[in-house]
Amino acid sequence: MRVRFATDRLCAASDLPNDSERVDVVVVGAGSAGACAALEAHRNGARVVVLEKQVAAGGTSARAAGQLYLGGGTALQRACGFEDPPEEMRKYMLRACGPGAPEDKIDLFTQESVAHYDWLVEQGVPFRASFVPTTEATNPPGPDGLTYTGNEPAYPWREEARPAPRGHNVECEGDSGHVLMKALLATVAREGIEVRTGVETTRLAVDAEGRIVGVGVRDDAGERFVRAERGVILCTGGFGFNREMLERYAPTFLECTPVGTAAEDGLGLRLGMAAGGDAIRMSAGSVMIPFSKPRSLVRGVLVNARGERYVNEDVYQATHGALALDRQDGIGFLILDADTYAEPQLPYPVCAESDSIEGLEAQLELPPGKLVETMQRWNEGAARGEDPLFRKAKEWITPLEKAPFRALDLRRQTFPYPFFTLGGLRTDLDGRVLTPEGEVITGLYAAGRVASGIPASGYNSGMSLSDCTFFGRRAGRAAAGSP
């Protein structure tokens, strides 16, 4: 492949000073994908350096809740008494990660998920062998190891694949991404892999054949180059903090709140694109309405601007986010009665309160009679323990009849929905970055949220860290094995 030099993100290999530092593999970014890539590249015989632009390693991964989506019969699932054939996990993920779910990546991941869990444990990542039912799950999660983190028990998913809990929660009281990263980075340090912080990668060096042979970096001492004789692995996270890129690729998120670290500015992604890498599923993201904290709030009835239900309320928070944002214009009200009301942990205010549904309807300025009709229908079904319209799971069905009635305000304008991006560089199973024509860009790899991975356009908690760690490892091995 011949290279176009239409960008200052690239520089010619021939311009690299002869005395530039030389390593085999440069890993850009020290989050979960980068740490795993570095470990496997090093263990496969490469001289590795990790370049991290922030003053400390860890990235967004260190701020995560710390759940990894794993299954297919992991030691933790078995210890908690669950069977989970890889085929059931595969069926579920193909649906949950779509549309456009990457079948080849999901096949591989579901086959090797058990071994990946064991690998994480070997790196010192702690998991407690205990299961928490969704009815008791808290957020942030407690120290227990296993829970449901997606739509597995919800309709229609429960009918398409046998439900099993696959949320593997790193042990800690509260958010545990920092525990995950502490274990991975301690292993990186123990094995003598150098992680340089405060060093931003700003360019890729390309030779005449289009092969990526190094990086240009900037730090306090100025600009310089590092040659990478076997490959460069981009592990720089997503682009949620870059408004220009959101405007161009994912404008529905402009009125939402990016979560993570501001270092997720898309620069790594733009480096890969400048080198000819294809960027795919760029409008995809995980956008949440985390109203179900406490979980008992899913007993409420969720309505749109027309006062109509549009989904079973027990679906996962990112399913709620996607539906509300894409189909309901960011408008939603959760109707509760005196028995089901509980104070939400997140700032979703009560925006209407009345002794009658009619009163609530008027305060919310819904079309006359609509909410009354919706609630009548709900209460009729609920009296029989049924939700004929959307088939909410029985454990969450209860008539809402006792005044006062309240509406929680779930509108995007009240509490901009938190999101992170899922779109990114197109890669093969070994993290090689591909062009739009499907050609490999020799010497360039990507893993984690800079790439489009398993959660292509649908998300469940834990799928990002699993994707980062699993495909980060593969990219590290592949880069080390390059000539």
Ligand X SMILES: Cc1cc2nc3c(=O)[nH]c(=O)nc-3n(C[C@H](O)[C@H](O)[C@H](O)COP(=O)(O)OP(=O)(O)OC[C@H]3O[C@@H](n4cnc5c(N)ncnc54)[C@H](O)[C@@H]3O)c2cc1C
Look at the alpha carbons of 314, 316, 320, 322 in this order and tell me if their dihedral is positive or negative.
negative
How many residues sit in the footprint of ligand X (CB under 6 A)? 41
Please tell me the distance from the alpha carbon of residue 19 to that of residue 33, in angstroms, as a whole number.
30
Residue nearest to ligand X (CB): 31
| Beta strands at 405-409 and 333-336: parallel, antiparallel or unpaired | antiparallel
Element holding 377 (H helix, E strand): helix 370-383
Please tell me the distance from the alpha carbon of residue 185 to that of residue 78, in angstroms, as a whole number.
28
Q: Does position 29 bind ligand X by CB under 6 A?
A: yes
Q: Does position 427 bind ligand X by CB under 6 A?
A: no
- One-letter identity of residue 7: T
| Contact flags string 184-203 toward ligand X, x per CB under 6 A | ----------------xx--
Q: Judged by CB, which is closer to ligand X: 16, or 301?
A: 16
| Contact flags string 151-180 toward ligand X, x per CB under 6 A | --------------------------x---
DSSP 8-state code for residue 134: T
Q: Judged by CB, which is closer to ligand X: 52, or 361?
A: 52
Closest C-alpha among 371, 375, 309 to residue 340? 375
Q: Residue from 71, 423, 462, 476 that binds ligand X (CB under 6 A)?
A: 462
Helix runs in 168-327, H state only: 177-190, 243-249, 267-274, 317-327
Q: Residue from 63, 293, 306, 377 that binds ligand X (CB under 6 A)?
A: 63
Please tell me the distance from the alpha carbon of residue 382 to that of residue 374, in angstroms, as a whole number.
12
Closest C-alpha among 482, 401, 472, 467 to residue 64? 467
Please tell me the distance from the alpha carbon of residue 274 to that of residue 283, in angstroms, as a whole number.
19
Q: Does position 117 bind ligand X by CB under 6 A?
A: no
DSSP 8-state code for residue 465: H
Q: Does position 146 bind ligand X by CB under 6 A?
A: no
Q: Which tokens go with 263?
A: 């270092």
Q: Which of the ranges 65-73, 184-192, 307-315, 346-354 carries the binding residues for ligand X, by CB under 6 A? A: 65-73
Q: Residue from 3, 11, 51, 282 that binds ligand X (CB under 6 A)?
A: 51
Residues 6+ apart with CB under 8 A from 74: 84, 113, 114, 117, 118, 168
Q: Residue from 38, 60, 185, 482 that binds ligand X (CB under 6 A)?
A: 60
- Per CB under 6 A, which of residues 212..251 are in contact with ligand X? 235-237
Q: Judged by CB, which is closer to ligand X: 215, or 397?
A: 215
Hunting for tokens 């800079």 — which residue is that? Answer: 450
Backbone angles phi, psi at 466, to 5 degrees: -65, -45
| Contact flags string 392-421 toward ligand X, x per CB under 6 A | ----------------------------x-
- Per CB under 6 A, which of residues 307..326 are in contact with ligand X? none
Q: Residue from 38, 40, 48, 61 that binds ligand X (CB under 6 A)?
A: 61
Q: Which of the ranges 59-67, 103-111, 300-308, 426-434 carries the binding residues for ligand X, by CB under 6 A? A: 59-67
* Minimum distance, C-beta of residue 91 to ligand X, in the bound complex (Å): 20
Q: Footprint of ligand X on this chain (CB under 6 A)?
A: 28-34, 51-54, 59-61, 63-67, 177, 200-201, 235-237, 259-261, 263-264, 267-268, 420, 448-449, 461-465, 468
